[in-house]
Amino acid sequence: MQVKFITDLVTIRPGEGADISHITTKGPKRQLFQDFSVEVSEESGKVTTITVPKGFVFDGASIPRLLWLLFPPGYGPAHRAAAIHDYLYNHGYNHYSKRYADDLFRATMLADGANPFIAWAFWRAVRLGGKGGWARV
């Protein structure tokens, strides 16, 4: 899976009245100032564009507070990946599998220059601990 960034991720602090009902963590939250789009190329040749809409609020990579010294909220190589991943977990579960969302998280981290081992460790954490909308279906 390969990821190409179509638009930049531009975020702001969530405005008053922003929908954060899907966020269960206490860490900092970010709201998209504009649509954020990526093009995903799969090994099968299928190419998909995924757009996270302006106004969506996400909480970064939901890193446990104990690890914030190593990977603070908003950790660079996971920031764009987290926006896409959180969106798919909360709004894309009827169209994408959990495996797809998790694999896209890792591929986006790698596209952002993450160390392959760190990207794998983050991927493993979401594979084991991520619930998303699939838990509600």
What is the reported pLDDT for 30?
A: 87
The pTM of this model reads: 0.86
The answer to whether residue 137 scores a pLDDT higher than 70 is no
Which band of pLDDT confidence, cut at 50, 70 and 90, is reported for residue 65? low
Q: Report yes or no: 49 and 39 within 8 Å, Cβ to Cβ.
A: yes
Query: Which residue range(s) make up the domain with 26?
Result: 2-135
Q: Which helix (H) or strand (E) holds 12?
A: strand 11-12
Q: Please count the structural domains in the chain.
A: 1
Backbone angles phi, psi at 74, to 5 degrees: 85, 15
Contact yes or no for 59/14 (Cβ under 8 A): no
pLDDT in tens, 8-31: 999 998 878 787 777 766 667 889
Give residue 25's pLDDT: 67
Q: Looking at residue 7, what is its pLDDT?
A: 96
Token duo for residue 41: 């190329």
Separation between Cα atoms, residue 17 and residue 84, nearest integer Å: 22
pLDDT tens string 66-79 = 676 777 766 778 89
